[in-house]
Chains A and B, each alone.
Chain A
Amino acid sequence: MTEPVLEVRNLRLYFETYWGRVRALNGIDLALAQGEITGLVGETGSGKSVLARTILRLLEHNAVIAEGEVLFGGQDLLKKSERQMRDIRGKNIAMVFQDARSALNPVFTVGHQLERTILFHQDVTKREARERALGMLRALDISEPARRMRQYPHELSGGMCQRVMIAMALICSPKLIILDEPTTGLDVTVQAEILSLIEKLVRETGTSALLITHDLGVVLEICDRVGVMYAGQIVEGGTTEALFTDPRHPYTAALQDASLNVDQEIGRGIAAIPGSVPDLRYLPGGCYFASRCSFRTEVCDEPPPMHETTPGHLARCFHSDEVARQRRGLASSGQR
């Protein structure tokens, strides 16, 4: 792997709340490769969005970064001043939020918002900014771009708003684009269009992308690499192929079995993961997944280290070999 665009090292973060200390990120190590789409999957409360917001320093006031660094172009973003961050946001690292309609400003036209983004970061005339904005809308397959420029967010459909949001994120040619659940809440047909657009644009412009989602299907569709998050840790990471064909963490395996999909035979049992995510205020001393895990033994009372199972494929589990063996057994007996 070449020099990563962004590297997160041993990031620990907690929220100080009235009800106690909520440990949202518990030692995140992550490197995003140049020109790749990295997926980050996990359920609600696993810390995916907090991680994204930490990278851009868009955190609430009660968030405390205990340790770690976020390296972007050799510099630690966590040490930047707010003024310096403003320059980085949108220009070097852009973000697309889940709810595009509320992420756009309702009182300005789409065109105005696009132009302002350009004018804020680059030294161009208003006319040039307008031309660029129009070009970007065209690149996103938006019909009648000139008319869209004059419209307000409420006049657009959800899918259209998300396209505008992506246009705005890409308009300053950032090195990295963070997409936080870009297609959640959209219809499947629209989701498919948006995903293929994201893939196309990322490949064409050579930017790197971090795609946050709870849907394994979305990851499989466009990501090169995947990290699986659970209770503020990355529990498994590797290429999409490795993760899907040969999962090494029990949580990844369970998540895959739980993902219903249309290629499955009808009437196959629905696999549910028993139990629920641990309370981030009272995390156990050992493995966070242990209480829901069928592979659990005494060693799981110790925190498992992240280790390499096969080259480039990491898992945070003592029993990763057993997970692989069991799944191979299942595959050969034709149960999956």
Chain B
Amino acid sequence: MSDVSALNGARPLVQVRGLVKHYRVGSIILPRILQAVDGVDFDIARGETLGLVGESGCGKSTVARCLVRLVDATGGSVLFDDEPVLELGRGAVQRLRRRMQIVFQDPRGSLNPRMLIRTTLSEPLRLHMHLGGAKLEERLRELMAQVGLEVTHLDRYPHQLSGGQCQRVGIARAISTNPDFVVLDEPTSSLDVSVQNQILVLLRELQTELGLSYLFISHNLSVVRQMCTRIAVMYLGRIVEVGSTEEIFADPSHPYTRALLSTVPSAVFGAKRERVRLPGEVPSPIDIPTGCRLHPRCPLARDVCAVQDPELIPLRGTHHVACFAATGWPAESTAMAEGKKES
């Protein structure tokens, strides 16, 4: 397995190897396998933010859910501070959840509409931190201040708060147990720009203040660029490119990353980019193409791409890419590919 760590020896906080999640779909007569995540490797160092980007349906949220054991992975391993997350029993997972938390995409939908904010926030504090009485109240007030809400918000219901305020509650819930690691699953995608930025600023402040590590899932590359130390690009259940934010943006090496970057509208006048267009649509994860998953849409594809699956291999520094065009064509088939190119 390739080394996708960027840590020069330091032990990562989270280590994911060969993560696989398949769903059984279809009927009894015609059972099919939906390969949501199909062999994903990455590391997250202490205090860093790893961005996971890709289009809808590429498996980014499934990765997140597997990490915190909200769904059970089909295969692979996840080490969190040397604990094998996927093999733990129910009780151990509960204990682990104090240290790894998640903030969901839909801020209002992830809060119980019938619970006061106070009740929602008290639950993890009672359960994980064994707080009660005055101590609980004190911690609740502290949390509200930390995420920029008023103490009066504690006695409101989710429907009485705005989307941005609900997301602040979601964040308060996640940090209430003093976790080491927080998964942020599209935390701002349903918010307006001005609110989005307030939340991003808050997340950054909390990261420095509490020494958190983040897995930041997003389809918004502009946000990822400002928030993340490193970025992993996913396509159809696989990571196709990973590297530091600088490496990915300055030198996108996978054709998919290039296409993705070129389609982001810029907010600076006169900065129109050359657009890399991938023909067709993303194939269904039930019917994954052979070889490289991108080959039917890839402008650089050669015959070998339809047969052989490129591995994620190092390019320069911490920059890894899964593409023959970037890392060199497989030796035995070079002649064949060259022949085709000339004809």
What is A's interface to B at a CB cutoff of 8 Å?
Answer: 43-44, 143, 157-160, 187-193, 195-196, 214-218, 220-221, 240-241, 244-245, 254-256, 258-264, 266-268, 270-273, 276
Contacts and interface: CB of A to CB of B under 8 A. Distances in A.
A220 B269 contact: yes
Interface stretch (B36-44, B99-107, B219-227, B328-336): B219-227
B96 interface: no
Contact of B222 (A160, A187, A262): A262
B263 A270 contact: no
A196 B277 CA distance: 12
Given A256-B267, A266-B226, A271 B249 contact: no
B226 A267 contact: yes
Closest 6 CB pairs of A and B: A217-B265, A192-B263, A244-B269, A273-B194, A259-B267, A272-B197
A264 B226 contact: yes
A217 B273 CA distance: 12
Nearest to B192: A43
B281 A187 contact: no
A43 B200 CA distance: 17
Nearest to A268: B226
Contact of A221 (B198, B226, B265): B265
B268 A191 contact: no
Contacts of B162: 276
A262 B259 contact: no
Contacts of A193: 277
Contacts of B201: 270, 272
A271 to B, nearest CB: 6
Residue among B162, B221, B226, B249 facing the most chain A CB atoms (10 A cut-off): B226
Contacts of A196: 275
B218 to A, nearest CB: 11
B264 interface: yes
B164 interface: yes
Nearest to B246: A266
A216 B226 contact: no
Contacts of B194: 43, 254-255, 258, 272-273, 276
A256 B267 CA distance: 7
A193 B277 CA distance: 9
A61 B18 CA distance: 56
21 contacts: A43-B195, A143-B280, A160-B281, A187-B55, A189-B263, A192-B262, A196-B275, A221-B265, A245-B269, A260-B197, A261-B222, A262-B264, A263-B266, A263-B268, A266-B225, A270-B201, A272-B194, A272-B198, A273-B194, A273-B197, A276-B164
B116 interface: no
A263 B56 contact: no
B279 to A, nearest CB: 9
Nearest to A276: B162
Contacts of B219: 187-188
